[in-house]
Structure 1
């Protein structure tokens, strides 16, 4: 199961475009006589932090020590943003612009539908819009107390000096993550990681019609920009992480997508939080993927809590249990191994499940993090045990096994031995019960050649399927 770390000691600095999102809610009952547009009777108003401020808020919600550097105007939206950041526990260091307003977006909502969005903004990229040296000076000072930097670029001009910001972080040995914007990604060269969505990625790296093209374009882009990692978010297809160690795909976990607003903010925030908490990049990506599945089920820019992450991690783990085919099993194994988890495998007929089976499977599961049970299909059982077996067909046997707490995945095979299947899966630990020697176990050579180990476990005395059947038959006589 994916474990969620404590983020309390993690320190993350966010630099980028600060926004204020406003929502007006009301009922729509008629069309305006002035124009063919709905009339909305506003009944409620809500304000939320957006852009880089939402990234900082996501960090604070999970307990990270979050600091925010950005630019705002001298206006009421700036005051509102400052108050909301302070209430959330974010240390906000905001440069004021005397000439430009705070970036604000107004969304008119009716019956959970967005009718229109109104943007109030002027680009801070213009000369004299804000004191660039003051922002950079405060940034350099903050680096000494930072584990990870996030550059949250919405193209509004705050990150006009992003090259200097990245260079200073790398010089200080601090990882820097970038949420990119626009077509000129050379500005983000030498970052630790960039996190585009698939549309943004294709607009810069080239179209993707199949998985091979995605891998090729990603590797070319990483090399061209000299970035260590590239995380491409792919909507309903999940997200893909490209790193020097290889490619990791994380399937989408959301059951229902309600609103994707701010999901990218959550992804980069939780990536940074996990890295600052000491997790590796693969594990951090898995935590970010889990967080994204939570926020897209909420309306508007949203955040997650540690309790929600813990609950989703438990649920996600249970949903990945069960009867699977070989191809699906390989994908699942690749995912859990990317998080440093060990896979154990055993096999058998499991015709009549008895206490000896239970004890054996629990002992096998204790050797690693995940347990695969490969089950002989009905024809192979008949070849091994005789025409009267199995007593229970394959589907029934697999369903009983999948209900055991010790068993994660159940997969069928049709051969007399599971050697082909074991050599394809190559578990970290192969287990067999009884009086076998390790070198006699089918598939053991493949497992050892791949760096795994083969173990023999004792069965509990006094239990066997054949003995149970014999007693049943003797009772009928």
Structure 2
């Protein structure tokens, strides 16, 4: 689509009819619809190809020139019978006075086949495909296009429209807004209702993930075998929501291609949407701007001793910034040089090191009633001061299985004579693409020996 704006002042009423007269002083053309998504991707530095239907008219030339000037490769099916969809907005003093739409929806079978052939031809060189559906006819046969993507093992992301989501069966992720979501599942009276209906919808159509955008109520992600993941909106002030949905699908796809984590992609998309709605008019976010926002979040003062829930947020942010998170655990009752050497080795396996400490009750169950010598607060305070350690947290169970599965680190480290298949939590970390390492403790140091020597 082409979004065209006529800007001008209004100072009088027409003598011909009771309407304002606009003296047009500026004409502005912008890529719209799916073209706006493509442009957003190009602003992020992504190599992007745009496929769609345009007319054989001047507006198609304007649209193509604007996109290619920004680095978007255009593969257009040109139709002599359809105009390039154009939305003309007459603007005065930042107010829209009227919108005039030039469009037809009578897409032919030949045009749909041409679109399908173009999609199939570019898939071998693609990392992902976005189907940006505006219910104009170009995606009448989107099911075939999703099938092509699946056969090529290319993830597909859908920004949907309409009242029939079955046409998106088998897509990787579908992203309706809340109105579109309720159109399909019915009215949701509570968050619990949203979560129940969202997961049922995801399962019904075989999507790996479903992302529902909820405006000021944030986002909620439904992903296979995981609990719903919700985020509050990151917007501080909202000036204009134009293009926010396009920004979400563009950033979401770009980040997923790199990280392969839906939660990472949603975190970045949420921050990007918060940025663009704070700008007047259709806005874009660049890769540098997005990186700066995420860097600021991940390099906050949230280090040291954190609760498991506080730590989870920091782990996600670190992983989204490409940092490898290392996890180890223990009682650490009396810290000695062997522990310090071990921590340095562990930190060398990644970028951030978590040390999870058994609570006092957990230590007593494992070591006996005389232990620990030092209480939990004391032990964590000492560990917090070790330079190699970024985060210290605690767990009350006899094993760290639950907290490992909760945090899902990139590297799980254990010291001693363990084998990988005997390390608690190893199966979870490996199943999520992580690594498990066994380190050798430095000889000559032992907490038990220190206690005996002190006759404690």
The normalised TM-score by structure 1 is 0.67
Q: Secondary structure at the match of 1:119?
A: strand
Q: Secondary structure at the match of 1:72?
A: strand
User: For 1:36-47, what aligned pairs fall within 5 Å after superposition?
Assistant: 44-47=26-29
Structure-1 separation of matches of 2:197 and 2:351:
34
8 Å CA contact retained: 1:179, 1:194: yes
- Matching of residue 56 in structure 1 with residue 22 in structure 2: no
C-alpha distance 422-277 of structure 1, shift in aligned 2 (>3 A): closer
C-alpha distance 87-334 of structure 1, shift in aligned 2 (>3 A): closer
Deviates more, 1:325-334 or 1:240-249: 325-334
Match of 1:295 in 2: 276
Structure-2 separation of matches of 1:357 and 1:82:
62
Structure-1 separation of matches of 2:13 and 2:357:
66
User: For 1:188-337, what aligned pairs fall within 5 Å after superposition?
Assistant: 188-247=168-227, 249=229, 251-252=231-232, 254-258=234-238, 259-277=240-258, 279-319=260-300, 321-322=302-303, 324-330=306-312
Q: Secondary structure at the match of 2:234?
A: coil
C-alpha distance 47-457 of structure 1, shift in aligned 2 (>3 A): farther
Which protein has greater RCO, CA pairs closer than 8 Å, 6+ apart? 1
C-alpha distance 264-255 of structure 1, shift in aligned 2 (>3 A): closer
C-alpha distance 430-191 of structure 1, shift in aligned 2 (>3 A): closer
8 Å CA contact retained: 2:82, 2:103: no
User: For 1:65-464, what aligned pairs fall within 5 Å after superposition?
Assistant: 65-94=47-76, 95-106=78-89, 108=91, 110=93, 115-116=95-96, 118-126=98-106, 131-247=111-227, 249=229, 251-252=231-232, 254-258=234-238, 259-277=240-258, 279-319=260-300, 321-322=302-303, 324-330=306-312, 342=325, 344=327, 365-366=347-348, 368-371=350-353, 408-409=390-391, 425-426=403-404
Q: How many equivalent residue pairs?
A: 418
The normalised TM-score by structure 2 is 0.69
Structure-1 separation of matches of 2:141 and 2:159:
15
8 Å CA contact retained: 2:212, 2:221: yes
Shift of 1:449: 10
Q: Secondary structure at the match of 2:162?
A: coil
Instruction: Give structure 2 stretches of 5+ with no counterpart.
Output: 360-371, 430-435, 446-456
Structure-2 separation of matches of 1:448 and 1:149:
34
Q: Say what the alpha-carbon RMSD is for the aligned residues.
A: 5.2
8 Å CA contact retained: 2:14, 2:21: no
Instruction: Give structure 1 stretches of 5+ with no counterpart.
Output: 1-17, 378-382, 440-444, 462-477
Shift of 1:204: 1.1
8 Å CA contact retained: 1:71, 1:97: no
C-alpha distance 265-122 of structure 1, shift in aligned 2 (>3 A): same
